[in-house]
Amino acid sequence: MAHCSKAYRFLLLSTAGADAEEMFRSMTLFVCTHCIKKTEAIAIKKAKVLTLLAELIRFTLFDMKTMNTSLIILSSILSQTSLAAPTPTSPNVGIQMGAIDSLLQASFIVQLVILILVSLSVLCWGIAWSKYKQFKKLKEANDIFDQQFWKMSSLDDLFEKISNYQASSHARVFKAAYVEMKKIAESPLLNKSGQQDTDSPQLSGIDNLERSMRKAIETELGDLESRLTILASTGSTGPFIGLFGTVWGIMNSFHQIGRTGSASLAAVAPGISEALITTAVGLAAAIPAVIIYNNYVARIRKEEMALNNFSADFLNIVKRNFFKG
């Protein structure tokens, strides 16, 4: 608008030599048109402009000596209208779409999906903590029992103290093997021929002992693997549960568009926000579950190797001292 005022002044100067009355009428028509357009959105300036126009018409009754005063008034009108701030045509609409707001405004299905995912996540972290304590306690107990096992002078003496190592998986395998070996020794089918020349009985049935130890090892591994299926299930199904919430949120967005007949941000933002939140919660539940599951599966494999090694060492000892062949 400032450029318009300057251009208008330039027009006045350039046409100074033309007919004064015709120039004045043209200027008056231009100013009236310009002022009416500018004052449509500025109600407060309208009265001032009308007052100035009335003054301008009054000055036309005087002779041409008052032309300079009229030009000053016209310049004042243009300056006021050019400096006036236009009124906003469309107000900005603020949308409160924080995470908490989205959860509170979400549909029942989306809230149920989020509740399921949060519950699974809390359950997985609880399992992770309990398994951490279980493996830590098991490792300490196995280390203590292994030291006593290699220091022992008699299997009977170690078996009498077995109750002191109840937290050790190696001790439980040893107990199962010792009980089976004792049953073999007390079996009525035991062939006692040839025992007069030996200080210790020569037993048979090493396969039974191996199967007994294998069963004890499988029992220990089954206990270690308990509740890991929850971690695996959460890791594999969590993203799909979140995807279900995503699809439901997008469906709600399209329904909202159909009801309102508008595809504005205010109509589609709530559904899209719900969809993004369910996806994020699904990933937040699944990713830690997969990491924890893989970690404990690796530790179980190491424990299985340790149990197999202990079983092999025990079988070697008893076969050299108590079994034939």
The residue-averaged pLDDT of 161-173 equals 92
Check residue 319 and give its pLDDT.
Answer: 85
Q: Residues near 238 by Cβ (< 8 Å), separated by ≥ 6?
A: 117, 120, 282, 283, 285, 286, 289
Lowest mean pLDDT among 69-78, 151-160, 237-246: 69-78
Q: Please report which confidence band the pLDDT of residue 206 belongs to, taking 50, 70 and 90 as the band edges.
A: confident
Residue 323's DSSP bridge partners are 203
CA distance 171 to 159: 9
Sequence ranges of the domains in the chain:
2-83, 99-321
Q: Residues near 187 by Cβ (< 8 Å), separated by ≥ 6?
A: 205
Q: Please report which confidence band the pLDDT of residue 241 belongs to, taking 50, 70 and 90 as the band edges.
A: very high
CA distance 203 to 223: 32
Q: Please report which confidence band the pLDDT of residue 64 belongs to, taking 50, 70 and 90 as the band edges.
A: very low
The residue-averaged pLDDT of 86-112 equals 61
Residue with tokens 């009265």: 47
Q: Which amino acid is at 35?
A: C
Secondary structure (DSSP) of 35-51: HHHHTSS-HHHHHHHHH
Lowest mean pLDDT among 28-42, 262-276, 293-307: 28-42
pTM exceeds 0.95, yes or no: no
Which has more pLDDT, 293 or 247? 293
Return the half-sphere exposure (C-beta side, CA atoms, 13 A cut-off) of residue 303.
29
Return the half-sphere exposure (C-beta side, CA atoms, 13 A cut-off) of residue 168.
24
